[in-house]
Structure 1
Amino acid sequence: MKGLTRTFLAGLAAILPIVVTLALVLWLSNTLEQGLGTLLKAILPDVLYFPGMGLLTGIALIFALGVLLRVYLVQGIFRWVEGWMERIPVVKTIHGVVRDVTRLFSGDIHERFGEAVMVTLPGMDARLVGFVTRSDFEGLPDTLGKQGTIAVYLPMSYQIGGYTLMLPRDRVEPLDLSLEDAMRYTLTAGVSARRDE
């Protein structure tokens, strides 16, 4: 019986990421097609509209937004909208989590984290993988960090959350891993790791 269960779980672990990814892509494409497709059907003559135009329009609009976000004025408007959302009690929590996760996995990881490090806590043999988020505390209170202090984020495995520790620089050692590989290793509790040869 244990062998059957193990085989089933191995199959589930293999197929689940594929199914979830496909379901997410299909949901997003259907949502774009239904929302923008309905709008385009109302605006365009039937001869010009074709199925999938809503999805293509959605992709084009997202790309256009990415281009516009390079303009200083649009960046200011976008920051103003984000600041407004950060003042609404429930919305600010959801928006903050989604924003941070998408920035983290959209190639923004190098701007968010300086380097991957190994942290040794005093009085413990255990070591933790962390990410330097701040090494300059200029403009912040001395109680947060002084000269030689760095901020290290320690993410929790399999969840969105973690701790930020203010540590002396000599309490950490750099890891010979890319930020992406170190983050993957940490978030999967050490199950997934890849090292570039």
Structure 2
Amino acid sequence: MKTTLARGLTNLLPMVLSIWLFWSLFISLDGLGRLMLETLGVDKIMLGAGFALVACLVFVAGLLFSVSPIVWVYSWIERQLMKFPLFKTVYGSIRDIAGLMNRDGKPKTHKTVLVRQANDSYVVGFIMSDFPPEPLREALPEGDWVPVLFQLSYQVAGVTSLVKRADLIEVNWSFEEAMRFNLTAGITSLSDPTQKGEAFTKA
């Protein structure tokens, strides 16, 4: 009985929560669009019309940001707003997260690596950039250093360490699968053990 309930919960909960999350997002965006339509005097708005309006506005914004003058004006406004410390902190964090999710057309530099610990254990990490920022490169001892992110289990946050490239073991494992492994502390199992990434030491 308990095993059957656990099996049902394990299979249904992710699906139900995912559908609820996307439905809540749909309702929120649809409500925003309906508010804009009502402001324009449009009555008898069907469900989904507001969401379609918001989607069209986002698409148009994407087209506008491909025009150089629009990009220049937006960048100028962004620089002015970034002068306010609190806004700079909040906006910068949201922008970085959005940039991490939108990697289309950009080289996928994120690599999964293993980092040896003092007790000969290994920690899964991610190379987020090929080079650390200039101030860090000047402060670090001579060597090929790279920023490595160590994801914390059940949290989006992580710890970034600077590690010598020679001390890293690259893993043939996709960024998404390795991130899921770290976020769930390894509870999420792979469907096929033969598809696990094969580690190899980078020359």
User: Which band: TM-score by shorter chain?
Assistant: 0.7 to 0.9
- Counterpart among 108, 123, 129 of residue 124 in structure 2: 129
Distance (Å, rounded) in 1 between the aligned partners of 2:179 and 2:51: 32
Per-residue deviation, 1:36: 1.7
Matched, 1:168 2:167: no
After superposition, where does 1:3-152 map in structure 2 within 5 Å?
A: 4=2, 6-44=3-41, 46=43, 50-79=46-75, 84=81, 87=84, 89=86, 95-107=91-103, 113-121=109-117, 123-137=118-132, 139-141=134-136, 142-144=138-140, 146-152=142-148
CA contact (8 A) 2:109 2:130 kept: no
In the TM superposition, what whole-angstrom CA distance separates every residue of 1:175-195 from its partner, at most 9, and x where no partner exists?
Answer: 011222222222222233464
Amino acid at match of 1:168: K
Gaps of 5+ in 1: none
Amino acid at match of 1:131: F
Distance (Å, rounded) in 2 between the aligned partners of 1:50 and 1:191: 43
Amino acid at match of 2:126: F
Structure 1 residues 191 and 55: alpha-carbon distance in aligned structure 2, compared to 1, 3 A threshold: same
Amino acid at match of 2:130: S
TM value normalised by structure 2: 0.73
Moved more, 62-71 or 158-167: 62-71
TM value normalised by structure 1: 0.75
Amino acid at match of 2:24: W
Per-residue deviation, 1:99: 4.0
Amino acid at match of 1:128: V
Aligned residues: 191
CA contact (8 A) 1:130 1:155 kept: yes
Amino acid at match of 2:5: F
- Determine what percentage of the aligned residue pairs are the same residue: 27
Distance (Å, rounded) in 1 between the aligned partners of 2:143 and 2:69: 36
- Counterpart among 166, 177, 186 of residue 182 in structure 2: 186
Amino acid at match of 2:122: R
RMSD over aligned CA atoms reads 3.3
Distance (Å, rounded) in 1 between the aligned partners of 2:172 and 2:165: 17
Per-residue deviation, 1:103: 3.5
| Counterpart for residue 201 of structure 2 | none
DSSP 3-state at the match of 2:134: coil
DSSP 3-state at the match of 1:13: helix
Gaps of 5+ in 2: 198-203
DSSP 3-state at the match of 1:70: coil
